[in-house]
Amino acid sequence: MTYTILGRCQRTARLGIGIATFSITVGLYCNGVAANTGVTISQAFVNQRNNRLALRLLKQGFTAGSVLAQLVANDPDEEYRQIGIIDRSGNAVAHTGPRTRGWSGHVTGDSYVAFGNGLVGPHVADAIAAGFLAEPEADLEHRLLMGIEAGRDAGGQGTVDRHKPERSAALIVYSQHDYADIDLRVDLHATAIEELRRVWLEYKKYEAYYHDRGRNPRGAVGQEAFMAKLAAAEA
C-alpha cells in the first residue's frame, strides 16, 4: 500500500522521489537516486537490491528500459514487485507485477513515473501524475510533494470502504553532487504527507544557512543567533 512519484526536472536535470505509505520507514527501503545517473525504486514487496543494481547499470550507460528488462528477468519474484526507473535522459519506465495487492498500476511520461499498489483505483495514479505536472516551472521538491498530495486527495491507499492512512512519507532530491540536496522523512505519523510538507517548508528557511555554514565555518553565525534573526523576520 504505497504510492510514489519519481521525477526528473527537465530544466535542471535534478532527480527525486516523493513517496507515501501505510508502512513505516519508507525512506529507508524505497531509496534509489544518484546524481547524473537516474532514479529508481522497488516497492510493494520491496527488493532493495534492485535499487542498487539498477543504479549500477544506469551508471554504466544502460537505458531505463534495458535496466528494467534486466531486473525483471533476474528476479524470480518479479510478480510481487513494482519497479520504476528514470534514466539521466528522462526516459521513464515501470513494471507492476500481477501479484501486487489491491489495485496496482503505473503511469509514465517524459521524466516521470507515477505508480502505486493497494490503491483505491487507477484514478489515484492519474492524480499523482497530474499533480506532478501541474507546475512544471516549480522546484522539483515542490512538484514531487504536489504529486503525492494529489494522490492522497484522490483517495490514496486502501479500498473505497476503508482508507489506509499514510503513516510514512519521504522526499529525496539530488542535483549534481554525490549527496542529497534534500532527504526528509516522516514516520509513525497520522498524517505523514501533511507533516512532510510542513517539515520541507521549515527546512527551506534553513537550507541556505546550513550550506553556507559548511562552506564558511569561520564566519558562520551560531544557529541560535540565526534562529533569533529568523524569528524576528517572521514576527
State the SS3 of 147-193.
HHHHHHHCCCEECCCCEECCCEEEEEEECCCCCCCEEEEEECCCCHH
Mean pLDDT calculated for residue range 86-102:
97
CA distance 167 to 157: 11
Question: pLDDT category, 25, cuts 50, 70, 90?
Answer: very high
* CB-based contacts of 70, cutoff 8 Å, min separation 6: 53, 57, 62
Model pLDDT, residue 214: 85
- Which SS3 state, helix, strand or coil, does residue 207 take? helix
Mean pLDDT calculated for residue range 35-59:
96
92: Cα separation from own chain's centroid: 14
CA distance 228 to 205: 12
What contacts 24+ positions apart, CB below 8 Å, involve 180-184? 180/33, 181/14, 181/141, 182/16, 182/141, 183/27, 184/27
Of 2 and 161, the structure prediction assigns the larger pLDDT to 2
Of 230 and 81, the structure prediction assigns the larger pLDDT to 81
Of 125 and 217, the structure prediction assigns the larger pLDDT to 125
Give the chain's mean pLDDT: 95
- Work out the number of other CB atoms within 10 angstroms of the CB of residue 135: 11
Sheet holding 92-96, edge to edge: 33-34, 38-44, 81-87, 92-96
Cβ burial of 36 (10 Å; 0-12, 13-18, 19+) is middle
- Which SS3 state, helix, strand or coil, does residue 32 take? coil
Q: The C-alpha cell of 178 is what? A: 554525490
Among residues 40, 21, 22, the alpha carbon closest in space to that of 172 is found at 40
* CB-based contacts of 181, cutoff 8 Å, min separation 6: 14, 141, 173, 174, 175
pLDDT digits (tens, 9 = 90+) for 194-203: 999 999 999 9
Q: Which domains does the chain have, with CATH numbers?
A: 2-196 (3.60.20.10)
- Which SS3 state, helix, strand or coil, does residue 133 take? helix
Residue 160 has pLDDT above 80, yes or no: no
* CB-based contacts of 233, cutoff 8 Å, min separation 6: none
- Which SS3 state, helix, strand or coil, does residue 28 take? helix
